Amino acid sequence: MKRKLLGMFAVSAIAGAMGSAFAQDAAPTLTAAEKEAAKKIYFERCAGCHGVLRKGATGKNLEPHWTKTDKAGAKTEGGTLKLGQARLEKIIAYGTDGGMVNFDDILTKEEIALMSKYIQNTPDVPPEYSFKETMDSWKVIIPVKDRPTKQMNKFNLKNMFSVTLRDTGEVALIDGDTKDIRSIVKTGYAVHISRLSKSGRYVYVIGRDGRLSLIDLWMEKPAVVAELKIGFDARSVDTSKFKGYDDKYAIAGSYWPPQYVIMDGDTLKPLKVVSTRGMTVDGEYHPEPRVASIVSSEIKPEWVVNIKETGQILLVDYSDIKNLKTTTIESAKFLHDGGWDASKRYFLVAANASNKIAAVDTKLGKLAALIDTAKIPHPGRGANFMHPKFGPVWATGHLGADVVTLISTPSDKKEHAKYKEYNWKVVQEMKHVPGNLFVKTHPKSKHFWADAPQNPDKDLAESVAVWNMSDLSKPVKVINVAKDSGLPPTKATKRAVHPEYSADGKEVWISLWGGKTDQSAIVVYDDATLAVKKVITDPKMITPTGKFNVYNTQHDIY
């Protein structure tokens, strides 16, 4: 298959295969140029939630049997309303209360009409990506022997932030003390997360084009020292953190093809590729079970690998890579993201389309609980704190519901025994708004922060809510971050997204995610007073989204 560059991103190997075979019976026709444009937009904006094959997960199924009407009428055999051109255009333009963002300020009217036509046509199956192709993509830019043996800069690395510049395919390394941009590093397109090695020296960033970049923070000017393309679309990466395996291995998960790659931690040399295709928890085969999120245990040499479409959670033992042992835990579809509880024994992950949170006991290697929640939980990593009534809790927000859910988590501390009766129960739902992506607090903070960037209301999408731990019945303040930034107002929504604490818990950084041609910013708040401390703007600060404080990310503080 011929593989072209889509704009500045090498993504058309996957996008080029999407939709090359179209159903012609009642499906809108597209020119070759329209198909190419639609494939690029779908990859960049839609595939993450709806899937390459459009079978749905966090987002709805977008196969033609739902999206296009036919000569017999607009309803399926079961009576469900099909969509069709006019309704699709409205949904794409204005979003939904279920968490789909409005695209009327992201796409033009012509692009919205084009995408409505495109998803009424039949998707094709993209190509596979072999171990040989993975190995051929491997680049060591600076060999280990030529790297520093000690930190060569004077930066406070503990308070460095790795900031995703989504639409430029870059990461900005920003000094948390001075607020200066120390380095802008070319990485993959739309970096999803940054993760730290156990030592805190290396930053691993994974882009949506499957490109994994390894950044060495010890260099005089931190830069990429190795790269690997693990697939055509990806979201997750982590390293080996069990004692004795510090920085030895890394693992990255692919959306397409559905597989994960194990590699050397300091060079990214691929060692093993493992497919995740298989049966769902309902007993049906799924052709696209994507690797949604990965975390690393510190009590065993294991990774927790969450498979979105199948609802299977894998505990991958990396103590013997050649003879890989995997424990498969059944939970619920469709697994997405999650984080550790305060004890770091239990991992909680959203099965968001099933409206559940699955909790894994990594010490015993089995499912601890499956908890029903409000619609479409989306925790990011979640947030841990001591509730004044219910003790240790872990929190998740929701894309599709107007609450933040608090779940009681177990504790071995004697003083917490009185809270045992609440464990794995939803103990409180804090009033919020739909469209939340991330919640955050810090052990040294009295506040709890939640964004709402996916809410279709412009003011809500540009704001964050803050609660005081002493009274979680309602937010103590709703902050319009866009207004606080001092940037000129625009028609396009500047989405306030991803609160992230400084290492000492005294500051909260929030991204203003605007359009490519709009000035974006990071607004830094004093956590104690909720007042603006600094607005970080720069011509190079284009579409900032996720921000990952080195110390907090290294130690799973959230």
- Contact by Cβ (8 Å): 441, 472: no
- Contact by Cβ (8 Å): 204, 294: no
> Mean pLDDT for each 10-residue chunk of the chain (558 residues)?
35 43 62 88 83 83 81 47 82 78 84 90 88 98 98 98 94 98 93 96 96 98 98 96 96 97 98 97 95 97 97 98 98 96 98 96 98 97 97 97 98 96 98 97 98 95 97 97 94 94 98 85 98 95 95 97
Containing 250, the helix (H) or strand (E) segment is strand 249-256
To which CATH superfamily is domain 12-118 assigned?
Cytochrome c-like domain (1.10.760.10)
Residue 282 contacts by C-beta under 8 Å, 6 or more apart in sequence?
311, 333
pLDDT of residue 81: 53
Q: Which of 546, 511, 409, 403 is nearest to 467 (CA)?
A: 403
DSSP secondary-structure letter at 61? P
Containing 279, the helix (H) or strand (E) segment is strand 278-279
Report the distance separating Cα 39 and Cα 16, nearest Å: 7
Residue 324 contacts by C-beta under 8 Å, 6 or more apart in sequence?
272, 274, 316, 317, 318
Report the distance separating Cα 447 and Cα 383, nearest Å: 11
Instruction: List C-alpha distances in Å: 531 to 363, 507, 523, 544.
Output: 42, 10, 10, 21
Q: Which of 45, 29, 30, 282 is nearest to 62 (CA)?
A: 45
pLDDT of residue 343: 96
- Contact by Cβ (8 Å): 62, 50: yes
Containing 296, the helix (H) or strand (E) segment is strand 291-296
Report the distance separating Cα 506 and Cα 516, nearest Å: 31
- Contact by Cβ (8 Å): 240, 248: yes
Report the distance separating Cα 500 and Cα 160, nearest Å: 12
- Contact by Cβ (8 Å): 412, 343: yes
Report the distance separating Cα 429 and Cα 133, nearest Å: 47
Q: How many CB atoms lie within 10 A of CB 504?
A: 16
Partners of 263 in beta bridges: 250, 270
pLDDT of residue 515: 76
Q: Can you spell out the DSSP letters for 303-331? A: EEEEETTTTEEEEEE-S-STT-EEEEEE-
pLDDT of residue 79: 46
Report the distance separating Cα 426 and Cα 112, nearest Å: 39
Q: How many CB atoms lie within 10 A of CB 390?
A: 18
Peptide bond into 347 cis (omega under 30): no
pLDDT of residue 98: 65
- Contact by Cβ (8 Å): 343, 384: no
DSSP secondary-structure letter at 75? B
Instruction: List C-alpha distances in Å: 365 to 302, 303, 331, 348.
Output: 10, 11, 13, 13
Report the distance separating Cα 268 and Cα 251, nearest Å: 9
Report the distance separating Cα 356 and Cα 365, nearest Å: 20
- Contact by Cβ (8 Å): 246, 198: yes
Report the distance separating Cα 551 and Cα 478, nearest Å: 28
Beta strands in 388-446 (DSSP E): 391-398, 403-408, 426-431, 439-440
Catalytic residue list: 46, 49-50, 100, 336, 378
Domains in the chain: boundaries: 12-118
- How big is the CA angle at 256 (ends 251 and 259), to the nearest 5 degrees? 40
Is 332 in a helix, a strand, or coil?
A: coil
Residue 466 contacts by C-beta under 8 Å, 6 or more apart in sequence?
447, 448, 449, 475, 476, 477, 478, 479, 530
Report the distance separating Cα 367 and Cα 353, nearest Å: 19
